[in-house]
Structure 1
């Protein structure tokens, strides 16, 4: 399991209907993408849910890194992003845990992301164990469609990403909030549930 996300920051006066129309026209192209657990087509709009920017920021959960490779440099889709917006940096994380939540049967309308750096020099077992506890609690929260925990061992950070049926509850402190325009989940049922090691 592997997670990735890139963010395309757009001008403050950018008409986000352009992105909405783009997703409406192209989102279905990943509905049967081989190796893809899910792709959440996400946007943030300046002034909405506290966002300081307009941004298009899809989040991917890959069941198979071969599919990710094909997408990024094998002619499987990323070229369209590069052609239209330039090549963005792609954040990527090794999958730690994945679980569907109580609202799994609904179409998600929102997403949230919490990125946390581990203390410098710390043994990663402690921070990851604490992040797993948070992830377990999150997975049982009303309104959760799916939640994923992953780690970037280059920068030593955890990311907790959650799809919600609608706006996250008031008690959720995740600073990054998104609107979900479309969810492609062709192989989500093949992504192992729970912690990703014995």
Structure 2
């Protein structure tokens, strides 16, 4: 499993209905994309749920890197580049995935929380702790699914969770609205540890 996200920050006065329309018309195009576990069409809207900026920030889980490459070098992503410029695409090896009690619901919110593994910490222990945290988070009310990935270059853990409704106020990290979920291969992604 591979996780991926790009975040396009938009002007403070940007009409977010442009993004809503884009997702409404183009989102279903990935509903059957081979190798895609899920794509959460996430946005933050300035002044909504604590967001300080407008942003389009979709998050992906891929079954394998070849599917991710087909998307990045294909017409869908090239259209985004033409419309918004080339964003930085963050991508990470996936560590674990868990489905929550609300897995049958359509998620309407997401959170992304990152944490750096301290320089003196055992990375294997930090990863095991993140996997345990994933299991705890999956049991929380309203969780659709949750994943954890790692950037071994900077030793940063990335926790991404989809929520049936708004995330609890105590949930750390960036908060997003989810406008659409393409999940053609979510059921095929193995739950639990990815090694």
Q: Secondary structure at the match of 1:77?
A: helix
Q: Aligned-pair distance for 1:171?
A: 3.0
How do 1:156-175 and structure 2 match up within 5 A?
Answer: 156-172=155-171, 174-175=172-173
1:64 and 1:175 map into 2 onto residues whose CA distance is 27
Structure 2 partner of 1:132? 131
TM-score, normalisation: structure 1: 0.96
Q: Aligned-pair distance for 1:127?
A: 1.4
1:23–1:41 Cα contact (<8 Å) kept:
yes
Q: Which sits farther off after the overlay, 124-133 or 181-190? A: 124-133
Q: Aligned-pair distance for 1:93?
A: 1.0
TM-score, normalisation: structure 2: 0.97
1:70–1:76 Cα contact (<8 Å) kept:
no
Over 3 Å off, 4+ runs: none
Q: Secondary structure at the match of 2:110?
A: strand
Q: Secondary structure at the match of 1:189?
A: helix
C-alpha offsets along residues 107-133 of structure 1, whole Å, 9 cap, x if unaligned? 000000111111125331121122112
Q: Secondary structure at the match of 1:96?
A: strand
2:130 and 2:98 map into 1 onto residues whose CA distance is 14
CA RMSD, 1 decimal: 1.0
2:77 and 2:71 map into 1 onto residues whose CA distance is 6
Q: Aligned-pair distance for 1:175?
A: 2.0
2:173 and 2:192 map into 1 onto residues whose CA distance is 24
2:188 and 2:35 map into 1 onto residues whose CA distance is 9
Q: Which sits farther off after the overlay, 64-73 or 34-43? A: 64-73
- 165, 184, 187: which one aligns with 1:186: 184
2:173 and 2:2 map into 1 onto residues whose CA distance is 22
C-alpha offsets along residues 28-67 of structure 1, whole Å, 9 cap, x if unaligned? 0000001000000000001111111000000000012111
1:162 and 1:175 map into 2 onto residues whose CA distance is 10
Structure 2 partner of 1:59? 59
How do 1:29-48 and structure 2 match up within 5 A?
Answer: 29-48=29-48
1:44–1:53 Cα contact (<8 Å) kept:
yes
